[in-house]
Chain A
Amino acid sequence: MSPIPGSGLAKGLAVTLRTMTRKSVTAQYPEAQPELPPRSRGVIALFDENCTVCMLCARECPDWCIYIDSHKETVPAAVPGGRERSRNVLDRFAIDFALCMYCGICIEVCPFDALFWSPEFEYAETDIRDLTHERDRLREWMWTVPAPPALDPGAEEPKEVTAARKTAEKREAGE
């Protein structure tokens, strides 16, 4: 029981009145862009130069929204008497964003850093078929992918840098 009868009622009135004097939280979206965190999951971008058609992303995708077509090409021997090599060439890479549930597993499993999150989100369409983004459109999204976050000051240096430094040291020692 409250000490004064009706004090709870007054408190309720005070809460609504106080809220009215404060700035409202509504975001005027089409007029004002939202301030999203840089790592927002907006759309998936494809860096197709890195793609080796390993198919891991397509196989891991929980709702099968990634379509990949490819063919094999034979690369002639690099040196005389060498062996011919074959390599995969990407013909089609498409993500159906009408099916995608933005779990990000494809980006996690890609071993060659070919898939990235981009914070762009304004790609609604009036025709559901247009939500299937083909290779060139996915490549365009790459320009909106933010730079990777800076390493923590106390973190280990990246493996690539370590490897490069060791090679350089070896060469120096050899000379």
Chain B
Amino acid sequence: MNDVLDVALRLVVVFAVFLVLPLVVGQTEHKVMAHMQGRLGPMHAGGFHGWAQLIADGVKFVQKEDVVPADADRRIFQLAPAVALLPYLLVLVVIPVGPGEGAVGQVVDAGIFFVLAVMGVGVLGSLMAGWASANKFSLLGGLRTAAQLLAYELPMLLAAASVAMAAGTVSLPGILDAFEWWWLPWQIVGALVFFVAGLAELQRPPFDMPVADSEIIFGAYTEYTGLRFALFLLAEYAGIVILCALTTVLFLGGWHGPFGADGLGWVWTLLKVAVLAFAVIWLRVSYPRLREDQLQRLAWTVLIPLALAQIALTGIVKVAID
């Protein structure tokens, strides 16, 4: 009975985090983007500096009609938002926020494999949406998503493999237990590659070719309205949280901090995630969208060689230490 209660409690906490953090990131994006552009952003919803803007947006989305195009593959079309969103929830379960077993939803031994594999599933949601919409823009968006996934999954995997080599384990808590501060400069190239590739996989600007609204309307999400569209948006922000959390755990030492790692480990994790999320927003505001060929060139000629070089470096240092 106690075990059931324990599992239920963990799942509830993970679910609450999954619902709250993406909204916090979204609201931060509203405000940070506005101020970076000399604006104020939402100021009215909720009274104080528009804190309830996303809740108001959610209410609006719920009220809208849920339209399925006549020629669309109905089942797949309706299933796609869930396929896009749920993998991030599953990934969140295995991410450790603090030291010990109490701060992880569920310890998975093959943590990195699980995380990267399940995150790849999230992109399938966009593919399904693009194919099932029976719309040429959706199809173009879906195919661009597929191309992007192929190009960027590889450097992401290689960068993560470098950390796994350094730690000698693929379990996420195991990596954190093995973490030393000098891993930071050692793995910095891998961290950058992982973060950039993750951004591209989330289709965040400047890697938002699949949803380039000035070219293909909104890519795979063109035909979506109401709640299903909101789920795709939520998936994007959940993706930001997951990407930042993974980068934190793999490269920035997670709950390790200059002091107070025992009791306040989760604060360090959250702080690092927040800083990375800010960087994600910052990059979106600062850079224009890459062209489709530039996007591919960056992945194949820059990120993959860098990731391979990082693996070589990791191997050499690892052998030298042992």
With beta carbons under 8 angstroms apart, the residue of A9, A24, A25, A26 that contacts B287 is A9
Contact call A20/B36, Cβ cutoff below 8 A:
yes
Among B37-45, B60-68, B147-155, B163-171, which stretch is in contact with chain A? B37-45
Among A11-19, A100-108, A115-123, which stretch is in contact with chain B? A11-19
Q: Which B residue sits closest to A28, measured CB to CB?
A: B43
Q: Is the interface of B mostly helix, strand, loop or mixed?
A: helix
Q: Which A residue sits closest to B287, measured CB to CB?
A: A12
Contact call B38/A25, Cβ cutoff below 8 A:
yes
Contact call A24/B35, Cβ cutoff below 8 A:
yes
Which positions 31-62 of chain B face chain A at CB distance < 8 Å? 32, 34-40, 43
Name the distance in Å between B5's Cβ and chain A's nearest Cβ.
Answer: 45
With beta carbons under 8 angstroms apart, the residue of A17, A24, A26, A28 that contacts B282 is A17
Interface assignment of A159: CB less than 8 Å from any CB of chain B: no
Interface assignment of A22: CB less than 8 Å from any CB of chain B: yes
Q: For the complex, give the distance between the alpha carbons of A22 and B40 in Å.
A: 11
Contact call B34/A12, Cβ cutoff below 8 A:
no
Q: Which residues of A sit under 8 angstroms from B36, Cβ to Cβ?
A: 16-17, 19-20
Can you spell out 22 A-B residue pairs with CB atoms less than 8 angstroms apart? A9-B287, A12-B286, A13-B282, A13-B283, A13-B286, A15-B286, A16-B37, A16-B282, A16-B286, A17-B36, A17-B282, A20-B32, A22-B38, A24-B34, A24-B35, A24-B39, A24-B40, A25-B38, A26-B39, A26-B40, A28-B40, A28-B43
Q: Which 10 A-B pairs have the closest CB atoms?
A: A26-B40, A16-B36, A12-B286, A20-B35, A20-B36, A16-B286, A16-B285, A25-B38, A24-B38, A26-B39
Q: Which residues of A sit under 8 angstroms from B287, Cβ to Cβ?
A: 9, 12
Q: Which B residue sits closest to A27, measured CB to CB?
A: B40
Q: Which residues of A sit under 8 angstroms from B40, Cβ to Cβ?
A: 24, 26, 28
Q: For the complex, give the distance between the alpha carbons of A52 and B134 in Å.
A: 70
Q: Which residues of B sit under 8 angstroms from A16, Cβ to Cβ?
A: 36-37, 282, 285-286
Contact with A along B244-279 (1 / 0, CB 8 A): 000000000000000000000000000000000000
A positions within 8 Å CB-CB of B: 9, 12-13, 15-17, 19-20, 22, 24-26, 28
Name the distance in Å between A24's Cβ and chain B's nearest Cβ.
Answer: 5
Kindly state the interface size class of chain B when it binds its partner: 10 to 19
Q: Which residues of A sit under 8 angstroms from B283, Cβ to Cβ?
A: 13
Contact call A19/B35, Cβ cutoff below 8 A:
yes
Give 10 new A-B contacts, CB below 8 A, not counting A13-B286, A16-B286, A26-B39: A16-B285, A17-B282, A19-B38, A24-B34, A24-B35, A24-B40, A25-B39, A26-B38, A28-B40, A28-B43
Q: Which A residue sits closest to B31, measured CB to CB?
A: A20
Q: For the complex, give the distance between the alpha carbons of A20 and B34 in Å.
A: 8
Q: For the complex, give the distance between the alpha carbons of A26 and B35 in Å.
A: 10
Q: Which B residue sits closest to A9, measured CB to CB?
A: B287
Name the distance in Å between A2's Cβ and chain B's nearest Cβ.
Answer: 16
Q: For the complex, give the distance between the alpha carbons of A70 and B37 in Å.
A: 55
Q: For the complex, give the distance between the alpha carbons of A44 and B262 in Å.
A: 72
Q: Which residues of B sit under 8 angstroms from A9, Cβ to Cβ?
A: 287
Name the distance in Å between A151's Cβ and chain B's nearest Cβ.
Answer: 39
Q: Which B residue sits closest to A22, measured CB to CB?
A: B38
Q: Which residues of A sit under 8 angstroms from B43, Cβ to Cβ?
A: 28
Q: For the complex, give the distance between the alpha carbons of A85 and B37 in Å.
A: 68
Q: Which residues of B sit under 8 angstroms from A25, Cβ to Cβ?
A: 38-39
Q: For the complex, give the distance between the alpha carbons of A25 and B286 in Å.
A: 19
Which of B36, B39, B43, B283 has the most chain A CB atoms inside 10 A of its CB?
A: B36
Q: Which residues of B sit under 8 angstroms from A17, Cβ to Cβ?
A: 36, 282
Contact with A along B10-43 (1 / 0, CB 8 A): 0000000000000000000000101111111001
Q: Which B residue sits closest to A26, measured CB to CB?
A: B40
Q: Which residues of A sit under 8 angstroms from B37, Cβ to Cβ?
A: 16, 19
Q: For the complex, give the distance between the alpha carbons of A96 and B104 in Å.
A: 69
Q: Which A residue sits closest to B283, measured CB to CB?
A: A13
